[in-house]
Structure 1
């Protein structure tokens, strides 16, 4: 079982002076669920190498069993420090792809040509595609061979406008994932702010927020067995 995880390389939160990047829990929980299921995991990012980790995700309030496990796991840390350049990755040989969030993907995974090509290939074969939180931005501009949005008509979730407002980021983000998904024809679904909410529609598995990381990973594993 081969799973590709695609993470951001972007650390500047617009022109705010704040730093962003990968949200640690959204990487750690899926990483360990996939490993526990016996998967081989390949990590890739637009720039390759060490991705920036959102400093806020390292705060005490956002630690979980999985982030604490990661902080003691030199093998996982080394793997994350040496992500492969996305341009070197081909879809062949992978059984599923998963995009963790953090605000970083809004800047470097929405329009990334290599990511969009991968998603087209995974979608064409109906191989499972998973995202959590802002990782869903990777799906917004992804199209099939007929240039139709791959999420059109699909039930999809991600970080909501309400949650964006709650973290004071409405004026910082380059766009709203909730609104942009609606524009390309996705049926955006959500639960209450910060609820653990993940959904599967066919080969698409999406989670709403950081607290949905574990359940989204488990759903992706179910989709891989289907």
Structure 2
């Protein structure tokens, strides 16, 4: 039977303070999908609200010349248009080989504090299943506390979209928190590539905890997750 990876997408689609649409970021799902699907992995999707998980239109424009993203956009729309609720997957970690959170600004507003997402991450970690996130996706880890009260990020090396990168895209003032700062506040050592936009994937816990810094890190995160689940 093909291994399955659960991909969790944001349900948050509009940033009021700048009056612009947001959501999940195309290559951060498309690139890991390509890596995993080529190895026979089945992808199942969830979101806080279920149904349509909003795709950030700016990512479609920015990556229109990227063959992997364009192919994914034209052939796999059911994956984000027909998500199930996160809550419907609680208690079902045994069905899955791993867990993946793509980024985009959306997760900063909903998944970072979503109780079902936090419970889901705890369940996968307790089951010894790899968990991965890329770009703004690592926001999902900053509020996760393990049984006993220790932060999931405590003592780990981790990455995510940097303050410098957020400044470049002009969104620092519109985020509910700084992801770089919050990762450090949760007790992790924040790592970043030598320059903005360069790829960086950080792997911890013997392959079980994977974070990527930015869109360019999406392939690396997919490859690290594939390795962790043994495909």
Is the Cα–Cα contact under 8 Å of residues 123 and 150 in structure 1 kept in the other structure? Answer: no
Task: State the Cα deviation string for residues 132-157 of structure 1 (Å, max 9, x = none).
Answer: 00000000011111121111111101
Cα distance in 2 for partners of 1:186, 1:63 equals: 36
1:206 alignment partner in structure 2? 211
**1:87 Cα offset (Å):** 1.3
1:37 alignment partner in structure 2? 39
Gaps of 5+ in 1: none
**1:71 Cα offset (Å):** 2.9
Is the Cα–Cα contact under 8 Å of residues 101 and 134 in structure 1 kept in the other structure? Answer: yes
Cα distance in 2 for partners of 1:59, 1:38 equals: 29
Task: State the Cα deviation string for residues 62-95 of structure 1 (Å, max 9, x = none).
Answer: 642211111331xx11222101111111223111
Is the Cα–Cα contact under 8 Å of residues 31 and 219 in structure 2 kept in the other structure? Answer: yes
2:175 alignment partner in structure 1? 173
**1:15 Cα offset (Å):** 2.1
Is the Cα–Cα contact under 8 Å of residues 14 and 173 in structure 1 kept in the other structure? Answer: no
TM-score (norm 2): 0.93
Give the 5 Å matches for 1:32-181.
Answer: 32-60=34-62, 63-73=65-75, 76-90=76-90, 91-181=93-183
Is the Cα–Cα contact under 8 Å of residues 25 and 63 in structure 1 kept in the other structure? Answer: no
Cα distance in 2 for partners of 1:170, 1:102 equals: 13
**1:186 Cα offset (Å):** 0.8
2:5 to 3, 10, 25: 3
Is the Cα–Cα contact under 8 Å of residues 107 and 136 in structure 2 kept in the other structure? Answer: yes
Cα distance in 1 for partners of 2:202, 2:83 equals: 28
Cα distance in 1 for partners of 2:128, 2:98 equals: 9
2:198 alignment partner in structure 1? 195
Is the Cα–Cα contact under 8 Å of residues 8 and 104 in structure 1 kept in the other structure? Answer: yes
Cα distance in 1 for partners of 2:219, 2:188 equals: 23
Is the Cα–Cα contact under 8 Å of residues 54 and 80 in structure 2 kept in the other structure? Answer: no
Cα distance in 2 for partners of 1:95, 1:208 equals: 23
Two-structure CA RMSD over aligned residues (Å): 1.4
1:183 to 174, 185, 193: 185
Is the Cα–Cα contact under 8 Å of residues 5 and 99 in structure 1 kept in the other structure? Answer: yes
Gaps of 5+ in 2: none
The alignment of Structure 1 onto Structure 2 pairs a total of residues equal to 224
> Stretches of 4+ moved more than 2 A in 1?
60-63
